[in-house]
């Protein structure tokens, strides 16, 4: 972005906060990563739309939630990173009639993209709605859960989505139905983009840097069934207890690094290669859960990426299985 383009942004009357050289280590759960050339924290949804309209056409945009599934390389990110979780935080019950829930749906929750997923789980339980409990175990935003089709303990985000609102690169909003998307295990793609160049990359995160879609989630409606809040709260407590018992939550990490291959577990395969506990630089394949990589305190993104590549090579050689990455790797080395 040149000086004139930057001045145009100032003149656009934006209300959000702009920063340059924003260290991404502050915004990722691994606590690593170089700086984003520019960062934008919108004031609200209107402001985000205005920002995208005013942004020069050639400027790369990366929309980020809580960075809990993101490895930003040490060389940082070119372009502008937009953060949703400061502003897009509305959560409410949707008024009846706005959506048309099927007979088994008791209520619809509307949540903006920056709302933390566990908050949706708790909000639903508070309103005696069941089916969103699994979101309590996913430490990201609604936007990230939609982008990843995040899930755990038998639940998956898109199973409860009724519809979404998206914003495109030109700042225009779109209402989209669940059926507009092709969804599968940790995979989400607009059906209209299936078969286009984008689809060559999105189903294969192993290709390292996914080509970003030029449309981002700004809100979703979740269709939930009726169920006693106390039961949902009990399930949430149980689920969190299991996580504490099995995951290395005391050290910075990004959850599961690889998808589980059909009928198997990435952790079992990595452990089978003798890699549990392996250290490179300041990063370690967790001694507790082999599909987690933890930052021991002074890791660089390059250490984590080297462990990812080591696990991929080893599992391929020993088991003939190509692991697919669940974490998204972005930026320059």
Q: Is 35 exposed, middle or buried (0-12, 13-18, 19+ CB in 10 A)?
A: buried
Closest approach of ligand FAD to the CB of residue 266, in Å? 13
Catalytic residue from among 186, 223, 259, 328: 186
329 near ligand FAD (CB under 6 A):
no
The nearest distance, CB 82 to ligand FAD, in angstroms, is 9
Indicate which residue of 213, 256, 286, 314 is catalytic. Answer: 256
As a dihedral over the C-alpha atoms of residue 226, residue 231, residue 233, residue 234, rounded to 10 degrees, the angle is: -160
Q: Which range, of 36-44, 172-180, 245-253, 276-284, touches ligand FAD by CB under 6 A?
A: 245-253
Q: How far is CA 291 from CA 133, 248, 287, 295, in A?
A: 23, 11, 10, 14
Our CB check for ligand FAD shows the closer of 66 and 315 to be 66
- Tell me if 147 contacts ligand FAD by CB under 6 A: yes
Site string for ligand FAD, 55-74 (x = CB under 6 A): -------xxxxxxxxx----
Residue 130 structure tokens:
């069941």
* 186 given a catalytic annotation: yes
> Do 50 and 12 meet the contact criterion of CB atoms below 8 Å apart?
yes
Does 183 participate in binding ligand FAD (rule CB under 6 A)?
A: no
φ/ψ of residue 173, rounded to 5: -90, 150
Site for ligand FAD in 264-323 (CB under 6 A): none
**Segment contacting ligand FAD (CB under 6 A): 43-51, 119-127, 132-140, 220-228?**
132-140
Shortest Cβ distance from residue 117 to ligand FAD (Å)? Answer: 6
DSSP H stretches of helix in the chain? 3-11, 45-54, 117-126, 142-148, 197-201, 229-246, 266-272, 301-319
Is position 115 an interface residue for ligand FAD (rule: CB under 6 A)?
no
* Helix-, strand-, coil-residue percentages of the chain, each rounded to 5: 30, 25, 40
Dihedrals phi, psi of 304, to nearest 5 degrees: -65, -45
The piece of 41-49, 91-99, 146-154, 294-302 that touches ligand FAD (CB under 6 A) is 146-154
Residues engaged in binding ligand FAD (CB under 6 A): 29, 62-70, 84, 113, 137-141, 143-145, 147-148, 150-152, 216-217, 247, 249, 253-255, 328
């Amino acid at each position: 972005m040149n000086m004139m383009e930057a001045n145009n942004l100032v003149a656009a009357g934006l209300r959000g906060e702009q920063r340059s050289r924003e260290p991404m280590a502050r915004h990722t759960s691994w606590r690593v990563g170089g700086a984003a050339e520019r960062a934008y924290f919108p004031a609200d949804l209107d402001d985000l739309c205005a920002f995208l309209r005013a942004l020069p056409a050639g400027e790369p945009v990366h929309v980020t939630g809580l960075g809990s599934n993101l490895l930003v390389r040490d060389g940082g990110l070119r372009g502008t990173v937009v953060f949703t979780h400061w502003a897009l935080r509305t959560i409410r019950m949707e008024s009846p009639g706005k959506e048309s829930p099927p007979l088994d749906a008791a209520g619809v929750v509307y949540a903006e993209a920056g709302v933390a997923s566990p908050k949706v789980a708790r909000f639903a339980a508070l309103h005696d709605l069941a089916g969103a409990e699994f979101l309590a175990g996913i430490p990201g935003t609604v936007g990230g859960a939609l982008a990843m089709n995040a899930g755990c303990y038998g639940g998956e985000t898109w199973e409860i989505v009724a519809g979404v609102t998206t914003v495109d690169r030109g700042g225009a909003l779109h209402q989209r139905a669940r059926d507009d998307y092709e969804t599968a295990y940790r995979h989400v793609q607009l059906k209209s983009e299936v078969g286009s160049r984008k689809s060559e990359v999105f189903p294969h995160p192993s290709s390292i840097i996914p080509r970003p879609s030029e449309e981002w989630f700004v809100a979703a409606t979740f269709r939930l069934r009726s169920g006693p809040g106390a039961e949902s709260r009990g399930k949430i407590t149980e689920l969190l207890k299991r996580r504490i018992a099995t995951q290395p939550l005391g050290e910075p990490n990004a959850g599961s690094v690889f998808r589980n291959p059909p009928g198997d577990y990435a952790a079992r395969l990595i452990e089978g290669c003798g890699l549990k506990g392996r250290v490179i630089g300041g990063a370690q394949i967790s001694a507790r859960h082999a599909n987690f990589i933890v930052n021991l305190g002074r890791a660089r993104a390059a250490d984590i990426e080297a462990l990812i590549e080591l696990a991929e090579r080893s599992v391929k050689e020993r088991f003939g299985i190509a692991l697919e990455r669940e974490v998204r790797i972005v930026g320059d080395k």
